[in-house]
Amino acid sequence: MTARFGPRPTYRVPLAGGGVLDLGARPLVMGILNVTPDSFGDSRPLSAAEAVGRALEMEAEGADIVDIGGESTRPGADAVDADTELRRVLPVIEALRGRLRIPMSVDTYKAAVADAALDAGAQMVNDVSGLLYDPELAAVVSRRGASIVLMHTRGRSKDMYQQADYVDVVVDVARELKAQTDAAVAGGVPPGAIVIDPGIGFAKRPSHSYGVLARLPELAGAIGRPLLVGPSRKSFLRAAARGADAPGRDWTTAAAVTASVLGGAHIVRVHAVGPMVQVVRAAEEIRQAG
């Protein structure tokens, strides 16, 4: 029997400043750039100067987008205030403006941080709360003409696993993401500016995360928006990686990224850009052959 993969829908997503991100012809790679002292996915924190260098390196390795974050959102992490987050991300975004040829995304759920980051040169917003934490973010995205990634989650970092209770994880996540999408549109965000993220590892046990990866086409089809998947180095991969800490989970990440591409993801969000670009290219060749 020959494997068959459905066509990946194409979209043109607006970027702040008047640009457009074309999605669908091939899966794009979003590089994760954390400017925090407590990121789970990196071996050590980066200074602002090191972060700038790493962003340029990601571009050279084949990244299509760089996602810059100043607050760790790993399960159990402490929240930080907007001023702290801005002190971390703004110097990096400002230094990269005009030097980086690929779009910059700001990884934040705060309206004030997003607004300042878009001023500094970011072109899209990646909101891990899907507008649940700061509904005012919708107005900022609308006013600035940016795109927004709405991720599925429940609760906050401290209690999200307590809310990992699903009748059918894909049906439930799709329903909740649809509600988040509707809220964004009601807040002024054009439907065409929205990308969805099923939130692998957020308010989900490992079985839930694997279940979502196995049924990505069903999830995307239920909402009708481009799909970003971020499995990189997350804890649901720990058992398969024989208990390795986050930086040691790149082989298992490669398997999850392959599943994401075969499942029709438009964007995959990863730490190890160079190796994962190769994984994405090979997985896309398999998908095209099917």
Helices 169-186 and 137-144 sit at what angle, rounded to 10 degrees?
60
Catalytic residue among 154, 225, 234, 287: 234
269 is annotated as an active-site residue: yes
Long-range contacts at 178-187 (CB < 8 A, ≥ 24 apart): 178/222, 178/223, 180/130, 180/131, 180/132, 180/150, 180/152, 181/150, 181/223, 181/225, 183/131, 183/135, 183/138, 184/131, 184/138, 184/141, 184/148, 184/150, 186/138, 187/131, 187/135, 187/138, 187/139, 187/142
Q: Residues 124, 17: contact at Cβ < 8 Å?
A: no
* Domain-embedded: residue 7: no
Written as tens digits, the pLDDT of the chain (290 aa) is 456 788 899 999 999 999 999 999 999 999 999 998 866 555 567 888 999 999 999 999 999 999 999 998 776 677 889 999 999 999 999 999 999 999 999 999 999 999 999 999 999 999 999 999 999 999 999 999 999 999 999 988 777 888 889 999 999 999 999 999 999 999 999 999 999 999 999 999 999 999 999 999 999 999 999 999 999 999 999 999 999 999 999 999 999 999 999 999 999 999 999 999 999 999 999 999 98
Residue range(s) defining the domain that contains residue 235? 20-289
Structure token pair of residue 57:
């390196």
Q: Is residue 264 part of a domain?
A: yes
Residue 98 lies in a domain: yes
CA dihedral 49, 254, 228, 202 (to 10 degrees): -90
Residue 124 lies in a domain: yes
* Residue 48 included in any domain: yes
Is 87 marked active-site?
Answer: no
CATH code of the domain covering residue 182: 3.20.20.20
The reply to whether 15 falls in a domain is no
Q: Tell me whether residue 136 is in a domain.
A: yes
Spatial separation of the C-alpha atoms in residues 285 and 289, rounded to whole Å: 6
DSSP state of 157: T
Is residue 152 in a domain? yes
- Euclidean distance between CA atoms 9 and 7, whole angstroms: 6
Q: What is the tally of structural domains in the chain?
A: 1
